[in-house]
Structure 1
Amino acid sequence: MGVDDLAESLDKLTLDGHVVLRSDHGEIYTVDRSTGETLIKGSRRKDGTYRSDIKVKPGYIPPEERAKYVPRFKRDPLTAAPADNNAAAKVEPPEEAPAVLPPSTLSTDKDETTKGRRQRFKPRNRAKYRTPRKVDGGPPTGNACEPPKGTVVDVDEIAKKLNTALA
């Protein structure tokens, strides 16, 4: 029996009815035999502060010690084998190549190919994107170009009225 084994067995030996356990990740658990209550002993953090004891509910298993999920294909001995031995990995190529259309039946007409592109990039609702048009050399018409009614005042008419009133 070595020194380490002796020290570990002395750590487990207690007279007050507690059992001391050490996890694989370094946590020290104490289990009270009379109540069955489990505690994770407090420890010192790197900054020197003390981490208090933590009560552990019965049946709790820390995430580090839980069994990890293994996918089904890795659990199954047939599919866990290397791909060389796996029958599913060996797929025979098809015996007959798929038929290819002769070049004479393919259309290479430029109008047909560009028409499809134009329709693909054309806006769906043309009225929404229509630009206002001028009527008889006047200002453009359309909702975006017309000011609200009653807000436009003819400045030339007001200037003529002022000039005639002052003269």
Structure 2
Amino acid sequence: MSHAAISVNIAITPASVVLGAPCSITLSATLSHSSPITIYTWPTVFNLALAQVRKNFWCIDLSNNDEPVRLEFEKGGKRSGWISRVLGGKHDQFFVTLEPGKAVDITAPFILTTRLNKLLVAGHRYRFGFREGECVGNWMHGTREEVMLPTGDKTPMGRGGPKIVLDTGPPIEFEVS
């Protein structure tokens, strides 16, 4: 069986960002593999609420000599080292199935436009992308329905194989108004 590979691209909607106005970030992931896999997204770029305030992305201000924009403000929420893969359990939302050749979109609010510390400046153009080496460490062969457990089952989560280093698409550029 070949190694699983995941390609992922970023999009921001709407393309013209207005400070304080709702804006979304979408990651589109496509699996290259012979069969479906289910990934655990908590510590990855696919947990967009957490990834946008950690070191999963980078951003530079193209209008200010490529000055880096500091995105990381926290280490992230605490969770136990134990991962519950009970269907409908406390970690259920962090399990996502990827099917071979089918794009899966994960969307969340783009928090840079609404941060209280005003990282972005109106009239400036920015470039935003993935940090090098982003990966998925916890994954299993099969769909959610096949790998998730019934209530009461505490079988530990095994690994489907080695970490999958993401094949990240190019960074995106956007202007703020």
Q: Which has the higher contact order (CA 8 A, sep 6+)?
A: 2
**Greater percentage in strand:** 2
**Fold similarity call, TM over 0.5:** no
| TM-score normalised per structure 1 | 0.15
